[in-house]
Structure 1
Amino acid sequence: MQQTWVSVNALCRPLVESLVRDAAALRLKISHLGGVTLVDAGIEARGGLEAGRRIAEICMGGLGTVTLSQSSLTPAWPLRVNVHATDPVLSCLGSQYAGWSLAHGQGKGAFYALGSGPARALSRKEALFKELGYQDRAETTALVMEVDRLPPEELLLRIAADCGVRPEALTVILTPTQSLAGGLQVVARVLEVAMHKAHELGFPLERVLDGSGSAPVPPPAPDFITAMGRTNDAILFAGQVHLFVAGPAAEAEELARRLPSSTSRDYGKPFAQVFKDYGCDFFKIDPMLFSPARVIVTAVDSGASFQFGRLDEALLARSFGA
């Protein structure tokens, strides 16, 4: 099946420009380091949910819509973030996925972050882009980092060089997990985690035609592990995703059966506790855990739909501190 790609960086450019232009209204702080534009969405600036919503759309490469609404799916936590991607493969895996590993320095003062957003498609540092067969070209770009301190200038200049753009053409958006903006942009990855797991399960990506998802907005927490746990649990215990796929109905059913988070050996307690139980080592956690609680997969060729998993309000309450 022939794939026609668009430029995620070109689609994102007006979104990034709008974010910077509206910084004061969004309670963001704009600064510059080495020529790179930095957008602080929760370190020294207050930020907020609307900032997080806009940042999530930037992460999705301009191919996704992110909205907030009240829902009865989780009565105790009615505010939900809703995500739809017109091209789930490119939007979620080619842009939104936090797959670019970034590091500078050694020892106690070392800086480490995972980068997400359209800049990934310029640098192509990940093997995933060879599999997708996608490389973007653009004169401006943006990268999102889930960090609580400013990155060093040397790292910013290296990112710009890896993307093939001038430092002045790079915007880096900083979103601490403990902030409202940071928490929301993580939960807005509910569709992306489903796409990533589908890829890990070996489902042909070219057969994923469309998709949407939603998850509750978690309350923030002052410490990183609790905040990180809540953003993950919003998806693991109360995230819901609907994928539309081509191909045999039996294969759509098998995908739906294997996608929910409850199929993981590590399912059953708040993520912060799972993380601590493994000595705060992400690599020891079952990768199959990172997926929505409930999934619907529709086989568009036959019209059949398959639903597996369930929302777990009791585990969500334990995580959210209710």
Structure 2
Amino acid sequence: MLSLNEKARAVITPLIDNPENYNVAVSKLESGATLIDCGIEAEGGMDAGVLFSKACLGGMGEVLVNSFPACEGTTSAISVAVDMAVEALMASQYAGWAINKGKYFAMGSGPARALYAGEELFKEIGHKEKSDIAVLCLEARKYPTGEVVEYILGKTGVSAENLYILIAPTASIVGSIQISARIVETAVHKMHEIGFGLDSISGGAGAAPIAPVAKDDLSAIGRTNDCVLYGGKANITVDCDDEFILEKIESIPSSSSKDYGRTFIELFKEYGDFYKIDPLLFSPAMITIHNLRSRSAFSAGSLNMDILTKSFAS
């Protein structure tokens, strides 16, 4: 069976073989690692965003661009479907690796996280990979320094020629797409935080609008978060008691937060610190849970097109 990293390497093969078809730039770093620029010097594009998102999932999910006609400012959305939620979402796509070395900082996602497995989360999910290949996705404005690459190599244990780093800033086409493609992961993470066991969650599907590219990364953080918080829908499949779902479901959507109802950039300006925003806000606007045990379905939350339109206009 192929590892998540091997599957992700297969996903990004078109970017490496034909970068001009995807508006990306591929280069070899001094260390010998491969860097795929999806939005810093290169412009990137829709197809690159889809492949970046699939790589984040470790090649374990479907990602499609479709229509989103309900909001002024965008007509496109990303749809995601995942069967193996723990492996694809929590061990791979979740941006849990804070890469902070020297003056460089980036949030790392993708299956290289499962090689390092240094986050507290991995003690619970029990998924640590062994692979000669590492694929890491960075949300950042600057290329990683040589010091950063050596740090990544040390943590993943692969040779430089087998390290592949995809990078895109938030304010880019690929940035907008890959963040909206986290819609299912956002739901599963919130469910885990409020008490759902990861072993009870088998998979899910979801969709979120694609934010128009903002003028700077801070504005883009606002728009892309709002796409999930006010325009995102997730359907999650579980196996547990109906009573537990009924007890928890109203706490899942973003509307459960005291900070709900304002654009993300408004909240950021008020608090001055990303980590002071109510963590309950980081959730899809709508959630539906399908229970395999009872064959029942439960829903909570609603879309908020007014806030989303306001966000895109700011």
Aligned counterpart for 1:89 among listed residues 68, 86, 92:
86
Aligned counterpart for 1:124 among listed residues 117, 120, 123:
117
Following superposition, the deviation at residue 43 of structure 1 comes to 0.6
Q: Distance in 2 between matches of 1:283 and 1:254?
A: 27
Following superposition, the deviation at residue 76 of structure 1 comes to 6.1
1:316 aligns with 2:305: no
Q: Match of 2:17, as an amino acid?
A: R
Aligned twin of 1:283:
275
Q: In 1, are the aligned partners of 2:40 and 2:169 still within 8 Å (CA)?
A: yes
Q: Distance in 1 between matches of 2:215 and 2:180?
A: 17
Q: 1:190-229: CA deviations, max 9, x gaps?
A: 1111111111111111111220010011111121111110
Following superposition, the deviation at residue 75 of structure 1 comes to 7.0
Q: Distance in 2 between matches of 1:231 and 1:321?
A: 13
Q: 1:67-123: CA deviations, max 9, x gaps?
A: 011144547633110001111121111100010011121xxxx11111000000001
Q: In 2, are the aligned partners of 1:63 and 1:91 still within 8 Å (CA)?
A: yes
**Aligned positions of 1:113-152 closer than 5 A:** 113-152=106-145
1:112 aligns with 2:105: yes
Aligned twin of 1:297:
289
Q: In 2, are the aligned partners of 1:243 and 1:298 still within 8 Å (CA)?
A: yes
The residue matched to 1:121 in structure 2 has which SS?
helix
Q: Match of 1:299, as an amino acid?
A: N
Aligned counterpart for 1:252 among listed residues 245, 257, 273:
245
Following superposition, the deviation at residue 23 of structure 1 comes to 1.1
Seq. identity, % = 38
Gaps of 5+ in 2: none
The residue matched to 1:171 in structure 2 has which SS?
strand
Following superposition, the deviation at residue 18 of structure 1 comes to 2.6
Q: Distance in 2 between matches of 1:302 and 1:74?
A: 35
Q: Distance in 1 between matches of 2:45 and 2:154?
A: 31
- Scaled by the length of structure 2, the TM-score of the pair is 0.96
Q: 1:129-150: CA deviations, max 9, x gaps?
A: 1111111011111101111111
Aligned twin of 1:64:
61
Q: In 2, are the aligned partners of 1:236 and 1:292 still within 8 Å (CA)?
A: yes
1:19 aligns with 2:11: no
Q: In 2, are the aligned partners of 1:245 and 1:252 still within 8 Å (CA)?
A: no
Aligned twin of 2:151:
158
1:204 aligns with 2:192: no
Following superposition, the deviation at residue 7 of structure 1 comes to 2.3
Q: Distance in 2 between matches of 1:260 and 1:68?
A: 23
The residue matched to 1:161 in structure 2 has which SS?
helix
Aligned twin of 1:103:
100
The residue matched to 1:319 in structure 2 has which SS?
helix
Q: In 1, are the aligned partners of 2:115 and 2:156 still within 8 Å (CA)?
A: yes
Q: In 2, are the aligned partners of 1:12 and 1:58 still within 8 Å (CA)?
A: yes
Q: Distance in 1 between matches of 2:71 and 2:291?
A: 27
- Scaled by the length of structure 1, the TM-score of the pair is 0.94
Q: For residues 89 and 255 of structure 1, do their structure 2 counterparts lie closer, same or farther at Cα, with a shift above 3 Å needed?
A: farther
Q: 1:48-81: CA deviations, max 9, x gaps?
A: 1110111000001111110011144547633110
1:262 aligns with 2:255: yes
Aligned twin of 1:44:
41
The residue matched to 1:308 in structure 2 has which SS?
strand
Q: Distance in 1 between matches of 2:71 and 2:87?
A: 30
Aligned twin of 2:51:
54
Q: In 2, are the aligned partners of 1:16 and 1:142 still within 8 Å (CA)?
A: no
Q: Match of 1:25, as an amino acid?
A: N
Q: Distance in 1 between matches of 2:12 and 2:143?
A: 19
Gaps of 5+ in 1: none
The residue matched to 2:86 in structure 1 has which SS?
helix
1:188 aligns with 2:188: no
The residue matched to 1:43 in structure 2 has which SS?
coil
Q: Match of 1:319, as an amino acid?
A: S
Q: Match of 1:111, as an amino acid?
A: Y
Aligned twin of 1:78:
75
Aligned counterpart for 1:306 among listed residues 298, 302, 313:
298
Q: Match of 1:302, as an amino acid?
A: S
- Equivalent pairs counted in the alignment come to 313
